[in-house]
Amino acid sequence: MQTYWASQSPVTDPGPAAAAIDELPGDPAALREASSQLVFHFQTGGDFAENGVPAGRMAEINTRYADAMFALVLDRGEPTLTRDRPAADRVVGCCRDATVLFLALARHKGIPARARIGFAAYIVPGWLIDHVVAEAWDDAEGRWRLIDPQMDSGWTPEVNGRPVSWPDLTDDQFITGPRAWQAARAGTSDPDRHGHRDTDLAILRGWPIIADHVVRDLAALSKTEMLLWDRWGKLATPGWMTPGPIPEPDAAMLDEVCAGTADPAVSPNAVAALGARDGLRVPEMVTRFDPNGAPPQQADVSQVLAARGREP
């Protein structure tokens, strides 16, 4: 079953960068170290000018495919993935991009790996900040291991008195969208602690962002690794973009989705069946919003869906 996640998706296919990946060790921890050197975070990486990153590179945040990101990285400085990279030699991106690049590395090495969309407890104490990490299959231990492909190994925060290990996050350090939804529905987690702490946008905090991350996580499990500012189906409906709970019929549907996807042992067939539902299925055209402030535009993601017809 895990082998489904060992092959590349159209998003994670590294293209010509495969030769550079061959130079890397094949264990997930080493690949995580490599991926943590590839992305300059567009919000938290620091001042662009002070880090030698031209302001015009902000447009790179909309780069969808791993092969294009690798091309930008390998064109900057020594063309290898085995070295420490200063900010100027990285691609401008976010947690989603570091995860996509890690998936490309891991899958090229034959390691089953997939993206998980959810919330990190280690970024801002007391808050569950929206974040994207990876899961890689640990064959020796027979379990999925949560891995943060972005964070610098020199930073060692704690959650509930336990240091965070970037190659092996615990369930209280990173909460997937489905588990966050279940906890909020059960009343054991405050919805308003989820998302962005300092924002006036309803879709970036509380119930709307938890529901959003259930749907994005489902797409990611389907090897459909979308940009975080793509919106489609239910994600584009008014009831999902305003403060307060999600409409109950939709909430009941998300309960059913989470009953499957909250379990790391969910099968590819179960994921495919859930992802085929109306309002959840990713269409060939989505609305892409732009963190740079440009007007929303329609984006053709048919290439992203090229693997849809393959049997899990």
Q: What is the C-alpha separation between 301 and 272, in angstroms, rounded?
A: 18
Q: How far is CA 155 from the centre of its chain?
A: 20
pLDDT at 72: 98
Predicted pLDDT of residue 97: 98
Taking the chain (312 residues) in runs of 10, the rounded mean pLDDT of each run is 94 98 97 98 96 96 98 97 97 98 98 98 95 97 98 95 97 98 98 85 87 98 97 93 92 98 96 96 96 92 78 52
The pLDDT of residue 95 is 98
- Using CA atoms, how far apart are residues 271 and 219, in angstroms rounded to an integer? 9
Classify residue 12: in a domain, yes or no: yes
Region of 131 (left: φ > 0; alpha: ψ -120 to 50; beta: rest) is: beta
pLDDT at 310: 56
Per residue in 183-220, is it b (16+ CB within 10 Å) or e — as a string? bbbeeebebebbbeeeeeebbbbbbbbbbbbbbbbbbb
Residue 195: inside a domain: yes
**Residue 312 maps to a domain:** no
Q: Is residue 227 part of a domain?
A: yes
Residue 273 domain-assigned (yes or no): yes
Could you tell me the residue range of the domain that residue 179 belongs to? 2-307
Beta 174-176 vs 113-120: how paired, if at all? antiparallel
Rounded Cα–Cα distance for residues 230 and 219 (Å):
12
Residue 252 lies in a domain: yes
Asked if residue 185 is part of any domain, the answer here is: yes
Q: Does any domain span residue 291? A: yes
pLDDT of res. 312: 53
Residue positions counted in the chain: 312
> How many separate domains does the chain show?
1
